[in-house]
Amino acid sequence: MPGMALLSYPLLGLSLLSVLAAALLVAALHFWQGAPAWRKIPRAQERREIVLQQMAALAQRLREQEPGLDPKPILELPLVKLAQKLQAEELSLESALCSYLEEEALKVQEVNYLTDFLGECEKELQALKKLRKSERGLLYGVPISLKDPYDCMGHDSTCGLAQFLETAEDRVIVKVLKAQGAILVKTNIPQALLSSECSNPIYGQTPNALNFKKTPGGSLRGEGALLAARGSILGIGTNTGGSICIPASFCGVCGLQTTGNHLSYSAVATAVKGKKSVSTVAGPMAWDVGSLVLSMALLSKDMHQLDPTVPFVPFREAVYSSNRPLWIGYYELDGYAEPSPRMARAVRLTSRLLQDAGHEVIPFSVPRIEYAILHLCQADLYADGGATLLQKLEGDIVDLSIKKVVSILRLPNPVKCLLAWILKYIEYQQEFLAQRKSLDLDVLLAPSLDPAFCMGCASKASESVSYSTLYNLLNFPVGVVPVTTVTLQDQEELAFYKAYYRDSNDRNFPEIIKGSVGLPVAAQCIALPWEEELCLWFMKEVETMANNHREPRWFPMEWAISSPGDLPTSSSTSAPDALSTSHKYHIHVTSPPPGSSPIYLSIYLSIYLSIYLSIYLSVLVGA
């Protein structure tokens, strides 16, 4: 059989060549199919430049109609007041639109928040002016903003993914907002909505409007940045693992994560569909709680009619307007991620103010938090081993903010059984509810992830989102309310920060929140499913008490004396009361750090008295 052996050699060579040719063909087909995705990006960027020019041109035309318009008083109006003035025709629709367009055109250069401008708003404005007063909606002529994934007719809903660069039609929430008279822009998001950064290959990176070195957080970060910059008065977004709560905290605004399916999520673009345990929900963000109340009242009204899968749940004004004392559970740490000093301080401050106001405040501990985060939240988000997400990223540029997640998902993984996780989720939810019921609690008060992370650092401490992700798992409504700001003492206490696991996430956390003095710190207000009105009432209580409370600040000795020109202004977050001793100098009488020893206090007071007498004598001698 030597002849057959010799014959097999050319056949073997031919087989190898065939396999190689097939491999090259598959690679070529893969490249041919994948390349168009990222090739769409330059077109999308050019389109955004065009709509920005259209926005500036419309603002200019409106300005020419009202050359004497002062936008500042309009931009300072809260949503409820602005809506009232537009309804009563005390303010023209053109004035409101012009004021916000000019501000948005200015802020987009600084903050890069915008992905699209709905240029048809000019025609919509003219149509609104023809309506009779009885036909006007609650948001008649109010300019608001919308998170990128919401489908709007003729506009992209990208999720930061090149595959999604296709125009869409108006969906349920957009129809409700337009019917109420709102005028919209769309705001930036992270790629695939899966990072606490705000960066994607299409529209780039969005910084925090309060500090350009910090991220606005969430995935609703374009909204957070725009609201913080006062370029929008109301934003509508979505929340899976903190996408509303985290940017609200980082940007110092209010946000409401609703119960799953309270507001329609129909046809909202998403990179990972089919999640069962960790609910993705819709919700509003605004400057204050009153604006959230107005938005929930109008969104709840027509939701069921437009989307029959959403239960008919009209807003219960009687629950929101109640004034009975609440039983409030609170915790300073969840047992999974160690809070920053200012996170714990915000909860202590708020719980004390609530107790002083007559509410019952009771300690609460989160049951089995590690199991909830690792075995329920993360398992549900990637129950398919990340296959859906990886498919959406084919042929696309992977943004740096999610490269770590994508790299992990591309490793070989065992197949996960989704049904098993759903059953375990139900067990955990019942366990959490039972612990809460045993204390007869109405609501919970919890830390909110704060302060804003440095830009590009979110992936270094991703586990800290446990404070917000837990309530997506439980499907509880959550509100975020700013209650205080970061102080120098908070910053100094980071040196003593201790964590649970001492892993890279824990070690990185203090580093990524440094340099945050003056940035906002919030608290989370949590109610049971379908109790949004109670959640909003609790938020209003917290907001009112935080606004009425002026927290004593502590400053280092080098700030003790300054010339009037060097004093912090009233807009500064760290300006204490000052005592004037002459036309040249001010002495800042501030509180020493809490918990100071008697010896420290005596030294502290002696130094201040010595400085005071020295300046007083120098003034007498000079006189």
Taking the C-alpha atoms of residue 94 and residue 112, their distance in angstroms, rounded to an integer, is: 25
> 79-87 and 289-306 helices cross at what angle (nearest 10)?
60
Residues 258 and 281 sit within 8 Å (Cβ to Cβ): yes
Residues 325 and 358 sit within 8 Å (Cβ to Cβ): yes
145 is catalytic: no
Taking the C-alpha atoms of residue 88 and residue 130, their distance in angstroms, rounded to an integer, is: 15
Taking the C-alpha atoms of residue 377 and residue 514, their distance in angstroms, rounded to an integer, is: 28
- Residue 232 CA: distances (Å) to CA of 116, 153, 430, 588: 14, 21, 39, 36
Helix (H) or strand (E) holding 382: none
Taking the C-alpha atoms of residue 476 and residue 535, their distance in angstroms, rounded to an integer, is: 10
**Burial 393-408, CB ≥16 within 10 A → b, else e:** bebbeebebbeebbee
Exactly one of 195, 243, 249, 466 is catalytic; name it.
243
Question: Judging by beta carbons within 10 Å of its beta carbon (0-12, 13-18, 19+), is residue 182 exposed, middle or buried?
Answer: buried
The answer for residues whose C-beta is within 8 angstroms of residue 596's C-beta and 6 or more apart is 604
- Tokens for 259, please give them: 């119960």
147 is catalytic: yes
Ramachandran region of residue 262, left (φ > 0), alpha (ψ -120 to 50) or beta? alpha
Taking the C-alpha atoms of residue 477 and residue 532, their distance in angstroms, rounded to an integer, is: 6
Taking the C-alpha atoms of residue 236 and residue 217, their distance in angstroms, rounded to an integer, is: 15
Taking the C-alpha atoms of residue 406 and residue 195, their distance in angstroms, rounded to an integer, is: 11
3-state helix, strand, coil in the chain (%, to 5): 50, 15, 40
Residue with tokens 């009204």: 301
- Residue 252 CA: distances (Å) to CA of 79, 237, 357, 543: 17, 16, 24, 12
The answer for residues whose C-beta is within 8 angstroms of residue 12's C-beta and 6 or more apart is none
Angle, alpha carbons 159-114-124 (nearest 5°): 100
Residue with tokens 């063909």: 25
Exactly one of 147, 178, 186, 540 is catalytic; name it.
147
* Phi, psi (rounded to 5 degrees) for 291: -70, -35
Angle, alpha carbons 228-494-343 (nearest 5°): 45
219 is catalytic: yes
Exactly one of 92, 99, 195, 219 is catalytic; name it.
219
- Residues counted in the chain: 623
Classified as helix, coil or strand, 350 is helix
Taking the C-alpha atoms of residue 279 and residue 272, their distance in angstroms, rounded to an integer, is: 12
Question: Which positions are catalytic?
Answer: 147, 219, 243
